[in-house]
Structure 1
């Protein structure tokens, strides 16, 4: 028995619209969005009284994506600083391979997002950078060097 694929990563957010727009600027597509509540979700996540909106973003033509959840009930819990440094324990970033890193970074900067560090070339194989999006979300971008 083996893992078949990674389906998605869940990010709990406060401003669902802003975070959707950020991931769409990277190049993901909004697959669906809507309310989620009821006994089934409470049983799965182990939290009672859940009322949330969820959005699913997919990578065009590829498996995997990002699921976003905005909780209305119960109130979300903040467990770390909003702008956590790279060495903070826990999930730090999601990485995407892109075909034109300069174009993606340009679109993100136009939307008010900045690089965490610098855009660098690693061993003449990849151009890499981290971008900080809304709510302190960090996304890594990688473009293969031809």
Structure 2
């Protein structure tokens, strides 16, 4: 028995419209949005009375998707929390980009900020961690070759 594929990574956000805009500026495409609710949905995630909205994002011409979700019920937990990389349960999604400096400049006006600094790793890759809307953390990497 083996894993067949990884379908998506899910991130809970407080402002779905802003998160969709952020990942669109990064270079992803919105595949679709929909409301998720009902008894079946609550049973899947273990939240009675769950009502959420998701936006499925994809990278053009590449596998894998990013599911952005916001919860209308029950109320979101941890609003405003700014987890740092050594926090248990910390998560981030890493993206390879063709121009790291341009990507950082385009995401900045949407509230993005570097967690540390852009680092050159052994002349192979330039990378950084970047915080976006609602505290989302993404890794950005550019091949140095």
Cα-to-partner distance string for 1:6-61 (whole Å, 9 max, x where unaligned)? 21111111111111111111111111012111122112111111111111011111
Taking structure 2 as the reference length, what is the TM-score of the superposition?
A: 0.92
Does the residue aligned with 2:47 lie in a helix, a strand or coil? coil
Deviates more, 1:39-48 or 1:54-63: 39-48
Instruction: Give the corresponding residue for 1:66.
Output: 66
Partner Cα separation in structure 2 for residue 108 and residue 116 of structure 1: 13
The correspondence of residues 1-146 of structure 1 with structure 2, limited to 5 A, is 1-78=1-78, 82-146=81-145
Q: Any stretches of 5+ residues in structure 1 without a counterpart?
A: none
Closer, same or farther: CA 74–110 of 1 in aligned 2, 3 Å: closer
Q: For structure 2, which runs of at least 5 residues remain unmatched after alignment?
A: none
Shift of 1:92: 2.6
CA distance in 1, matches of 2:115, 2:95: 15
Q: Would you say how many aligned residue pairs link Structure 1 and Structure 2?
A: 145
Query: What secondary structure does 1:18 align onto?
Result: helix
TM-score by length of 1: 0.92
Q: Find runs of 4+ consecutive structure 1 residues off by over 2 angstroms.
A: none
